Amino acid sequence: MQDPNLRLIPTEENLRPPRRANERMGRNIVLAVILTLALLVGVIYSPLLWGNLPAAAESQAAPVAAARILQSDSSLFADQEALANLYDHVAKSVVSIDVLADASNVQFGNPFGLPDGETPQIGGQGSGWIYDSAGHIVTNNHVVENANEVTVRFFNGYWAEAEVVATDPEADLAVIKVTPPEGMEWQPLPLANPDDIRVGHMVIALGNPFGLDSTMTTGIVSALGRSQPAGESRYTLPDIIQTDAAINPGNSGGPLINLQGEVVGVNFAIQSQVRSNSGVGFTIPVSIIQRIVPALIENGAYNYPYLGISGQSISPQVAKLHELTNTQLGVYVAEVIRGGPSDSAGIVGSEETGDIIIAIDEQSVSSFEDLVGYLVTETAPGQTVTLTVLRSGEQRQIPVTLGERPNSAQLVSNPSTGSGQSGPVNARQAIELAEQAVIDGNLVDGDIIQRIVTPSVSNGVEVWEVELTTDTQSAKVTVERETGEILEVVVE
């Protein structure tokens, strides 16, 4: 029995906790470690845990996340603001052009019930842009051709009557002039440097498609160095810019500009089956504007240089015909116009053994478009150029003093003076011949609503490829450019 008066003296053994208290403390330590690890796991995997929340939580978080993404990608806002600012700057320099012309050339009789002797008037519409501080505006020739009245409407709603200063059907360019309305902010558009234009560059088309004033569309330069017939000219227009910026009827004459607000060209044509944008538009380049527009203002006309040959690019068909290699590029001279500059210089033209032009003034010539482009943009009548030609495999340098290109009246009165660049059948005549062949043969049903003509080469022969479209059918007609003969008709 323990004596109640006996007091225990603590020893080292007695100071240790009992076994049950020891176990309790161990459990507490384990729990603390587990809680610490759980917190660490929560921090590391919380994004995954949040990702598994219900849809309601996601819908609340999504706008916040989207706002953060947009705020972080400030370039989107910068781009759209830059385009908006560019529009504000240049739109005031783009105009709408309304014209009235006699309908005497349109063969529909007198459907308006007008008294005999009075000619009905037809209206037209296009675009243009302010060229200089003297009141000159640039547009297309086909916009103002044969116009009796021309009215220019400005961005701010003002308008003014215009006079036609001069036109150039071969480049489809025209200059008109107005007296700016009082209080009008008159802002000419600057011209771009032709050497700075590259495929892939962003461009902007401004104009009045379908009469919708001050319309802006964007795209890129799709291709350079195209050639297209212009109006009734026998000659193709070189160095054409192709773009996918939306161009529609009414855009004609409006500017194509770069991101600096500089004019890179004048919109003038589209390639489409439905007479509206299909992503293939054509623009007269600034290199041609720089040459022709000042001459129209100062002299009323532009005098084109004239080489006096008939030739074509060396294609696989031409190379096979003349037993050339598949690496031989240039212009094959099929004919030299009698008494012309090339004839006087000794250039040889022949269907069998003609010269091959491979350079002009040391500038490489790979195609007929290269040759014509250099002539139009870099030379003038009376200037002497040096042609590098291959003759019977031997390279020669031949100086040629350029003449002045004959006009249409001269070509009609003296066909032997033709340049041969597009043959005696022009684009408009090719369309007429193609239509006649299709109509005479009863090959299509309904009215022809679309006409497209393109210069081409078939079996070594220069041709016009004419496509005629009705509501239900399409006819492709091949017309020989030299004789006007119908070579082939395919109806689909």
Domain contains 207: yes
Same domain, 453 and 402: no
Residue 65: the pLDDT is: 54
How far apart, in Å, are the Cα atoms of 264 and each of 45, 93, 224, 355, 376?
57, 15, 12, 35, 17
Same domain, 328 and 277: no
Domain contains 78: no
Same domain, 311 and 405: yes
Same domain, 354 and 400: yes
In this model, does residue 169 exceed pLDDT 70?
yes
The mean pLDDT value for 80-87 works out to 91
Lowest mean pLDDT among 176-190, 305-319, 402-416: 402-416
Residue 18: the pLDDT is: 47
d(CA 240, CA 254): 15
d(CA 383, CA 402): 6
Q: N- to C-terminal Cα distance for the chain?
A: 127
Question: Mean pLDDT of all residues in the chain?
Answer: 80
Same domain, 199 and 295: yes
Domain contains 452: yes
Residue where a domain terminates, one of 254, 283, 299: 299
The 10s digit of each residue's pLDDT in 106-135 is 333 333 344 455 556 678 899 999 999 999
Beta bridge partners of residue 429, listed in sequence order: none
Same domain, 314 and 404: yes
Which has more pLDDT, 6 or 29? 29
Backbone angles phi, psi at 319, to 5 degrees: -60, -40
Domain contains 8: no
Phi-psi region of 80 (alpha: psi -120 to 50; beta: other; left: phi over 0): alpha
In this model, does residue 205 exceed pLDDT 90?
yes
Residue 172 annotated to the active site:
yes
Q: Give the CATH number for residue 343.
A: 2.30.42.10
d(CA 87, CA 177): 24
How far apart, in Å, are the Cα atoms of 356 and each of 335, 385, 403, 482?
11, 16, 21, 20
Q: Give the CATH number for residue 131.
A: 2.40.10.10
Supply the range of the domain harboring residue 323: 305-417
As for how many domains the chain has, the answer is 4
Q: Which of 142, 239, 310, 313 is catalytic?
A: 142
Q: Which of 168, 172, 244, 370 is catalytic?
A: 172
d(CA 198, CA 364): 19
Most confident of 26-30, 182-186, 381-385: 381-385
Beta bridge partners of residue 164, listed in sequence order: 176
d(CA 239, CA 256): 15
Domain contains 41: no
Same domain, 324 and 358: yes
Same domain, 269 and 372: no
Residue 142 annotated to the active site:
yes
Three-state DSSP state, 387: strand
Same domain, 381 and 470: no
In this model, does residue 478 exceed pLDDT 50?
yes
Task: Decide: residue 32, CB within 10 A, 0-12 exposed, 13-18 middle, 19+ buried.
Answer: exposed
In this model, does residue 463 exceed pLDDT 90?
no
In this model, does residue 66 exceed pLDDT 80?
no
Residue 134: the pLDDT is: 95
Q: Give the CATH number for residue 461.
A: 3.10.450.40
| Report field, pTM of the whole predicted structure over 0.75 | no
Which residues, 6+ apart, have CB-to-CB distance to 134 below 8 Å? 177
Lowest mean pLDDT among 56-65, 157-166, 254-263, 274-283: 56-65
Cα angle 478, 481, 485; round to 5? 60
Same domain, 413 and 309: yes
Same domain, 220 and 294: yes
Domain contains 480: yes
If one counts every other C-beta atom within 10 angstroms of the C-beta of residue 298, the result is 10
Domain contains 23: no
Report the b/e string of 310-336 with b at 16+ CB within 10 A: bbbbbbeebbebbebeeeebbbbbbbb
Residue 322 annotated to the active site:
no
Q: Which of 222, 252, 367, 422 is catalytic?
A: 252
Same domain, 288 and 250: yes
Domain contains 68: no
Cβ atoms of residues 143 and 174 within 8 Å: yes
Report the b/e string of 161-194 with b at 16+ CB within 10 A: ebebbbbbbbbbbbbbbbebeeeeeeebbebbeb
